[in-house]
Amino acid sequence: MRIFLLQQLFLWVCMVVVVVLIAFLPRDLVFVSEEYETYGIATMNMQLYGERLSEYVAMIGAGSLGENRYGTSVLVDLHLYASRSLQLIGIASIIAIFIGTAKAYFDTRYKGIFARSSRKIGQGMQALPDFFIIIVVQMVVLWLFRQGFPQFSLYGNEDLSSFLFAAVLLSLFPSMYFANIVASTLESEEGSFYLIAAKGRGVKKSVLLIKHQLANALPSIIQQIPIMFMYLLSNLLMVEFLTSFRGAMYRTYQAMGFQETSLESLPNQFYIEEPVIVVYLTFFISLGFLVNIGSRVMTEIVTRRRLS
């Protein structure tokens, strides 16, 4: 366990260093037009790179993490956006775990046509890109509005309804993923001797599923949570982007300077906020780190309790 912690800590430090090294590469992009062709030229100036890095390190040494483009401290910035995103992640995770477990229970408890097709739909949903699901849900809701359904706000992050809408969108993909994991681990327990023995003694199937199968499958389910969490973070960017939710992921993308890019135009000027990029990416890496460790500790606890 101690080795695991040290190893994870080492990886965390590695990732943060890589992020800093990449973020502070000289970012002057010059465009040169010659006759009919335009080139973008980025020159690698080692001296400038070194200066930028040492400046940043000196700033951290002085106890500041830097400022965003409006001159406010990055931490204030992070606090504002990250708290929104964390709430979103929290609600979505709770929904995902709750719905995922309920769906998995339904799928394994019953063998009828409904349970089987629900299982198939769950698997199929996993193959569909998250943005497709988000777009379809939006189209359906907008169609309902046109049919006279009471309207509520879908976009932005000010209203409770748009907040909940984003949370529900975010939870769709992880709940299907979670349901599939739980269902397949529950099924892998089937056929074990203790189940046959319990069945023989006339234990109810629901009791069997929850008290025995789920309890036994818990360690392998918890081990899968970090992977689910990474999917959730990638989804988060998509959801924040498509619902105009001003959250931490969207802020990171904005800081990378390509925010208004489209097929027709580059931004006139790249507003790249290196300190913001570093702090936000570190924030996400740390979240992954914490979830990894949390899942490991939980697995340990659950396994130990089962053995004792």
Partner 1 sequence: MKNLPASLTISVSALVMLVAFLFVGPLIYSSPEDQDGVMIMNDGSIRTAPFPPGEDFLLGSDAAGNDLFGQLMSAGQGTLLLVLMIVAIRFVLAVPLAYFGRKQKGIFHQGIHLLNQLFSFMPLLIGMIFFMTIPFVISSEYRMFLVFIGIVLFELGRTAVTVQESFHQVRQKSFMEAPAMIGSSRWTVWRKYYWRHIRGPLIVLFCLDISKMMMLLGQLGFFAMFISMTFAVNDLGEPIAINAFETWPTLLSNARTHIPNEMWVIFWPSLAIAVTSLIFFSIGNALKTMQQTTS
CA 5 – CA 15 distance, rounded (Å): 15
- Nearest CB to partner 1, comparing residues 105 and 173: 173
Shortest approach of partner 1 to residue 215 CB, angstroms? 26
Instruction: State in angstroms the smallest separation of the CB of 165 from partner 1.
Output: 12
Where b means 16+ CB within 10 Å and e means fewer, 48-70 reads eeeebeeebeeeeeeeebbbbee
| Beta carbons of 276 and 252 less than 8 angstroms apart | yes
Q: Which of 129, 218, 136, 211 shows the shortest CA–CA distance to 176? A: 129
Closest approach, Cβ 48 to partner 1, in A, equals 12
Q: Find where tokens 């689910």 sit.
A: 228
Task: Give the pair of three-digit tokens for residue 13.
Answer: 């430090």
Binding site for partner 1 (CB under 8 A): 7, 11-12, 14-15, 19, 22, 25-29, 31, 33, 37-42, 44, 123-124, 126-132, 135-136, 138-139, 142, 154-155, 226-227, 230, 233-234, 236-238, 241-242, 244, 249, 252-253, 256-258, 261-266, 268, 277, 281, 284-285, 288-289, 292
Q: How far is the CB of 11 from partner 1 (least distance, A)?
A: 6
N- to C-terminal Cα distance for the chain?
A: 19
State the CB neighbour count (10 A cutoff) for residue 251: 23
CB 214 within 8 Å of CB 160 = no
Please state the closest distance from residue 166 (CB atom) to partner 1, in A.
14
Q: Is 170 helix (H, G, I), strand (E, B) or coil?
A: helix
Distance CA 273, CA 267 (A): 14
- Of 19 and 198, nearer to partner 1 (C-beta) is 19
Q: Are 276 and 255 in contact (CB under 8 A)?
A: yes
Q: How far is the CB of 305 from partner 1 (least distance, A)?
A: 27
Least distance (Å) from partner 1 to the CB of residue 250?
10
